């Protein structure tokens, strides 16, 4: 077998125990916030029929899909996001009580060009309310975003940009852009957070928009105001404690299916760009052949958020999962080691028994050190004889010999 | 779009909020036990190069794999289990301190014929120790299995069958079976837990084993005894508290890569069959082109375990995630509802604000009832005027009107 292919696929990553501790902590915090706001979890399969996936996201997206025939010859694909699977779920479960407030935390796959912050398998944390036109539903999604960014992730500098498709369309009307050109104009002005006005003008030119029209577009956007619905959303959100909302009339969001409120959260320092996007999509469920229900929701891109948390070193004190290493002296005494390990495990102290008793204590200590295990428990012949255990704290250097029956209490004092 | 394809793929399932509550509880309990024994989590991508997947599991397994070309034309496949990805991870991370004690909880995909208890996407919970030949490592895996089945899942009737490949091979030698026929003989006798001796004899005949050889095989198996290593494993496991171990000399385990101890846990009442399998595989990592390291581990098939838990109604009291519904009266009072919801959420009481304030209270109560939400919080004009909230407990029927400032304490008394 060729050695060069014994590796992860390009654009894909393994997660080490250390990385998983951070990811699990993040998922736990996000989950707690979703449930605080009354959302419940569902999961859907990784694979969907191609009929479910195609025609929902636009052509560019479809190029990035993992589409193939399964061993039975059916055209299938890996899910591209969690929104279309939600729509399919609703279509299939029409007795679901409405409004349906669901969250979903699962990976999605896109064969995108791998680069910093962009992976081919990444975890989306979606939260959506289906079946309500109320601006309270939009506001709650904003409250969740704010709570996650502010309290779960502790990002110091961020903005939640909001706009709505009706506001955007009204700008297009005011600028007298012919309706068939709206999609390409909207796509260009959506880039105003990354590109200069000049660059966007250039792009609009190449897309066949003339100079007058371009001037009109910028003028309409500069004068745009939130409509009644959007004002209501903002007021409700503020009542839920949301700050950092910024009305951004050029914000468009790429995906075709949004119909109302749209929002995007950006980390402003360091300038990482969009980490959370979402909005209202009142037509998608009907389009999919399901019931004609409104919906609003957001997607938290966990991988990019983890990058920010790591880059800013925001979380310093994730506790280790394993608190102790129980050493083994020889085969006979390994039963005593097992006994000590049992006592600690029953007492809630997660620990490893070093299984290879032929290795000397120095090697066993080195192992604990490499794994960042704070406590080592030693059972040599003397300890065994006197029903004792020696506790060595690798962080403080403190060492003490204690009775086995006091072991859990004594060990806890070191934690 | 054709309506008939707006559904989950055949053999795949969605998980509703209620199902997810049970699954999440199971995963939480399994995870706690894995960490108690000092194992740490890793994750690997869903997709692997075909070179990593092929030639590891045998021909029959390969027919069930989801293999395809990715959009870049690379031959890839969905992971078939979590053991080969672990081997690939080790090969790629050769600086990992040994022994490496890892767990992994991720779905795997097999295009198997869908039937009761068999799904095409299912969740495996794997726990493995890499880098140790010690029987303590085998014993710990058995201790984890026992702890999960006994304490996490509360299965009333189960057996942990154990055997080892050397014991099995020694039976083959004693029965004078030519070595090239071992795989097919072993495959047949492995079915003795599902089929009668007569049926297995029949199968051996059709595989070209003559009558004398068949008699020898059964005789060798009846007389087989654990070897020294296996006895050691059992003794260590018993010292860790493991019961229900049953030496089963015909147990083979289908997968080609096992080299030492093998085990399989079966639920005996109801007769559901194997839910957890595993063993020692000391050659796989080297075969994969990685370092030549021994390993032992097990796979908990979570989906089948959930079926058993549901069938036996073993878990009766999973608490609801959402404790309250806050009603809305009209647009003006909806700000008061938001305020009450905020107070409850800050106080740790997860709740839904009913977003559609044009719907009458009766409909809102019905919604709470359908979602099994125990408490409803009502803020009408009178409550608003007097800074109060009415709490209605849908489980007991008790209703009381309390001051907003006492709300969290009063609500807690109902939980």
pLDDT of A2:
42
* Chain B nearest C-alpha distance from A292 (Å): 14
From the CA of A399, how many Å to the nearest CA of chain B?
22
Closest CA relative to residue A38, chosen from B335, B19, B355, B391: B355
Distance of CA B250 to the CA centre of its chain: 25
Residue with the two structure tokens 């494993």:
B233
Between the alpha carbon of residue B222 and those of residues A74, B46, B216, the distances in Å are: 47, 43, 10
Residues of chain A found within 8 Å of residue B102, distances taken between Cβ atoms: 17
CA distance B42 to B83: 12
In this prediction, residue B3 carries a pLDDT of 47
Q: What is the 3-state secondary structure (H, E, C) of B230-242?
A: HHHHHHHHHHCCC
pLDDT score of B300: 95
Q: How many residues does chain B have?
A: 415
- Mean pLDDT, range B56-64, rounded to an integer: 86
Entry field: residues in chain A: 415
Give the residues across from A129 on adjacent strands.
A101, A296
Establish, for the pair of chains A and B, how many residue pairs have beta carbons separated by less than 8 Å: 258
B27 touching A, CB under 8 A?
A: no
Contacts of residue B274, defined as CB under 8 A and 6 or more positions apart, other chains included, come to: B264, B265, B266, B301
Quick one: which H or E segment has residue B278? strand B273-280
Q: Is pLDDT above 50 for B167?
A: yes
User: What pLDDT was estimated at residue A164?
Assistant: 96
Cβ contact, residue pair B240, A342, below 8 Å:
yes
Phi, psi of B251 (to 5 degrees): -65, 130
Domain ranges of chain A: 7-311, 324-412
pLDDT of B255 above 70:
no
Least confidently predicted of A110-119, B84-93, B227-236, B268-277: B268-277
Give the pLDDT of residue A145: 97
Place of tokens 């959260």: A265
Using the 8-state DSSP alphabet, how is residue A299 labeled? E
Task: Please report residues of B whose CB lies closer than 8 A to that of A6.
Answer: 51-52, 88, 91-92, 288-290
pLDDT recorded at residue A187: 87
- Is residue B387 scored above 50 in pLDDT? yes
Question: Which 228-257 residues of chain B touch chain A by CB within 8 A?
Answer: 236, 239-241
- Residues 41-70 of chain B whose Cβ lies under 8 A from any Cβ of chain A: 41-49, 51-52, 55, 63-66, 68-70
Test A338 with B76 for CB contact under 8 angstroms: no
Please list, in sequence order, all residues whose beta carbon lies within 8 angstroms of the beta carbon of residue A303, skipping any fewer than 6 positions away: A117, A119, A122, A123
Q: List pLDDT tens digits, range B196-248.
A: 999 999 999 999 999 999 999 999 999 999 999 999 999 999 999 999 999 99
Q: How far apart are CA A17 and CA B404, in angstroms?
A: 45
Domains B7-311 and B324-412 share a fold: no
CA distances from A403 to A8, A340, A350, A386, A388 (A): 48, 11, 19, 8, 4
Question: What residues contact residue B39 under an 8 Å CB cut-off, 6+ apart?
Answer: B101, B102, B103, B127, B129, B144
pTM of the model as a whole:
0.94
Closest partner CB to A35 (pick from B35, B321, B334): B321
Which chain B residues have a beta carbon less than 8 Å from that of A129? 355
Contact list in A for residue B48 (CB cut-off 8 A) is: 8-9
Q: Which tokens is A215 given?
A: 């001037």
Q: Are A326 and A354 in contact (CB under 8 A)?
A: yes
Candidates A6, A37, A72, partner chain B, best to mutate (most B CBs within 10 A): A6
Backbone CA torsion sign across A33, A35, A38, A39: positive
- Helix, strand, coil % over all residues of chain A, rounded to 5: 40, 20, 35
Q: How far is A232 from chain B (nearest CA, A)?
A: 10
- Tell me whether residues B71 and A111 touch, CB distance under 8 A: yes
Per-residue model confidence (pLDDT) at position A288: 72
Q: Divide the 415 residues of chain A into consecutive groups of 10 and give the mean pLDDT of each group.
A: 68 95 96 97 97 85 94 94 92 93 98 87 97 97 97 93 95 93 89 89 92 93 96 97 95 84 89 86 82 94 92 86 95 96 96 94 96 96 96 96 96 93
Distance from CA of A98 to the nearest CA of B (A): 8
Q: Which stretches of A57-181 are assigned E, i.e. beta strand?
A: 67-69, 75-78, 100-109, 121-130, 158-164
Whole-number Å distance between alpha carbons of B244 and B198:
28
Pairing of strands A67-69, A75-78: antiparallel
CB contact under 8 A, A367 and B132: no
Any chain A CB within 8 A of the CB of B14?
yes
pLDDT level of residue B4 (50, 70, 90 thresholds)? very low
Could you say which residues from 97 to 136 on chain B have a Cβ atom under 8 Å away from some Cβ of chain A?
97, 99, 101-102, 107, 109, 111, 121, 129, 132-134, 136
Cβ neighbours for A122, distance < 8 A, ≥ 6 positions apart: A107, A108, A110, A301, A302, A303, A304
B283 interfacial to chain A (CB closer than 8 Å): no
| Residue A118 DSSP one-character state | B
Task: Give per-residue burial for A31-42: e unless 16+ CB within 10 Å, then b.
Answer: bebbbbbbbbbb
The closest of B98, B102, B94 to B41, measured between CA atoms, is: B102
Q: Which CATH superfamily is domain A324-412 in?
A: Anticodon-binding domain (3.40.50.800)
In this structure, what token pair is assigned to residue B221? 């198996």
A346 φ, ψ to 5°?
-65, -30
Q: Please give the order of strands across the beta sheet that includes A100-109.
A: A40-41, A100-109, A121-130, A295-301, A273-280, A261-267, A158-164, A245-247
Interface test with B, best of A41, A130, A228 (most B CBs within 10 A): A41
Q: Cα–Cα distance between B93 and B91 in angstroms, integer?
A: 6
- The string of pLDDT tens digits covering residues B120-159 is 999 999 999 999 999 999 999 999 999 999 999 999 899 9
Residue B334, chain A, CB below 8 Å: the answer is: yes
Concatenating the DSSP letter of every residue in B246-276 gives: EE-TT---S-TT--SEEEEEEETTTT-EEEE
Q: Which residues contact A151 (CB under 8 A, 6 or more apart)?
A: A29, A33
Q: State chain A's maximal CA–CA distance in angstroms.
A: 94
| pLDDT of B321 | 87
DSSP string of B321-368? S--EEE---STTTHHHHHHHHHHHHHTT--EEE---TTS-HHHHHHHH
Q: With beta carbons less than 8 A apart as the criterion, state whether B161 and B265 touch.
A: yes
Query: Do residues B378 and B390 touch, judged by C-beta distance below 8 A?
Result: yes
CB atoms within 10 A of CB A218: 18
Beta carbons within 10 angstroms of residue B223's beta carbon: 10
Q: Residue A134 in contact with residue B364, Cβ under 8 Å?
A: no
| Other Cβ atoms closer than 10 A to A194 | 11
Give the span between the Cα atoms of A91 and A123, in whole angstroms.
24
Q: Which residues lie below 8 Å from residue B92, measured CB to CB, with a gap of 6+?
A: A6, A7, A8, A14, B290
> Which of the residues B3, B13, B17 would you substitute to probe the A interface, choosing the one with the greatest number of A C-beta atoms within 10 Å?
B17
Could you tell me the strand order of the sheet in which B399-403 lies?
B351-353, B324-326, B375-378, B388-393, B399-403
What sign for the dihedral angle of Cα B192, B197, B202, B204? positive
The distance of B282 to chain A (nearest Cα, Å) reads 15
CA–CA gap between residue B414 and residue B389 (Å, rounded): 14
Q: What share of chain B is helix, strand, coil (3-state, %, to 5)?
A: 40, 20, 35
- Whether residues B6 and A35 touch (CB distance < 8 A) is answered with no
Confidence grade of residue B194 (pLDDT, cut at 50, 70, 90): confident
Q: So what's the pLDDT on residue B5?
A: 61
pLDDT digits (tens, 9 = 90+) for A228-244: 999 999 999 999 999 99
Contact B226, B234 (CB under 8 A): yes
CA-based angle A31:A37:A38, to the nearest 5? 90
Contact A1 B97 (CB under 8 A): no
Inspect the interface and report whether the beta carbons of B38 and A335 lie closer than 8 Å. Answer: no
**Which residues does B267 contact at the CB level (< 8 Å), separation at least 6?**
B155, B157, B158, B273, B275, B308
**Given a cut of 90, is residue B172 above it in pLDDT?**
yes
What topology does CATH give the domain A7-311? Answer: BirA Bifunctional Protein; domain 2 (3.30.930)
């Amino acid at each position: 077998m060729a050695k060069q292919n014994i590796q992860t696929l390009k654009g894909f990553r393994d997660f080490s125990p250390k990385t998983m501790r951070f990811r699990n902590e993040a998922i736990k915090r996000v989950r707690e916030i979703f449930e605080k706001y009354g959302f419940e979890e569902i999961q859907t399969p990784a694979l969907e029929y191609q009929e479910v996936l195609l025609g929902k996201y636009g052509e560019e997206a479809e190029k990035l899909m993992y589409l193939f025939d399964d061993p039975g010859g059916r055209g299938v694909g890996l899910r591209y996001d969690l929104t279309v699977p939600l729509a399919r779920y609703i279509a299939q479960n029409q007795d679901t009580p409405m409004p349906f407030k669901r969250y979903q935390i699962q990976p999605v796959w896109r064969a995108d060009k791998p680069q910093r912050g962009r992976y081919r398998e990444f975890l989306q944390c979606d939260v959506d309310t289906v079946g309500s036109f109320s601006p309270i539903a939009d506001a709650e999604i904003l409250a969740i975003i704010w709570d996650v960014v502010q309290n779960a992730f502790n990002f110091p500098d961020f903005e939640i940009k909001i706009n709505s498709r009706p506001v955007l369309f009204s700008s297009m009307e005011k600028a007298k852009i012919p309706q068939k050109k709206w999609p390409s104009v909207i796509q260009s002005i959506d880039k105003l957070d990354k590109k200069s006005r000049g660059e966007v003008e250039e792009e609009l030119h190449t897309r066949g928009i003339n100079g007058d029209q371009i001037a009109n577009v910028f003028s309409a956007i500069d004068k745009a105001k939130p409509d009644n619905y959007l004002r209501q959303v903002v007021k409700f959100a503020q009542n839920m404690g949301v700050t950092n909302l910024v009305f951004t009339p050029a914000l468009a969001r790429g995906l075709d299916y949004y119909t109302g409120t749209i929002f995007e959260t950006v980390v402003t320092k360091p300038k990482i760009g969009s980490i959370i996007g979402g909005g209202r999509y009142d037509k998608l469920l009907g389009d999919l052949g399901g019931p004609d229900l409104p919906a609003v929701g957001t997607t938290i891109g966990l991988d990019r958020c983890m990058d920010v948390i790591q880059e800013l070193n925001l979380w310093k004190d994730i506790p280790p999962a394993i608190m102790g290493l129980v050493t083994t002296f020889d085969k006979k005494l390994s039963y005593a080691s097992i006994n000590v390990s049992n006592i600690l495990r029953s007492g809630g102290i997660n620990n490893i028994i070093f299984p290879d008793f032929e290795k000397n204590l120095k090697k066993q200590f080195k192992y604990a050190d490499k794994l960042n295990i704070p406590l080592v428990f030693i059972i040599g012949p003397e300890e065994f004889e006197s029903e004792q255990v020696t506790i060595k704290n690798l962080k403080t250097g403190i060492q003490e010999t204690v009775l086995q029956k006091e072991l859990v209490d004594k060990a806890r004092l070191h934690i």
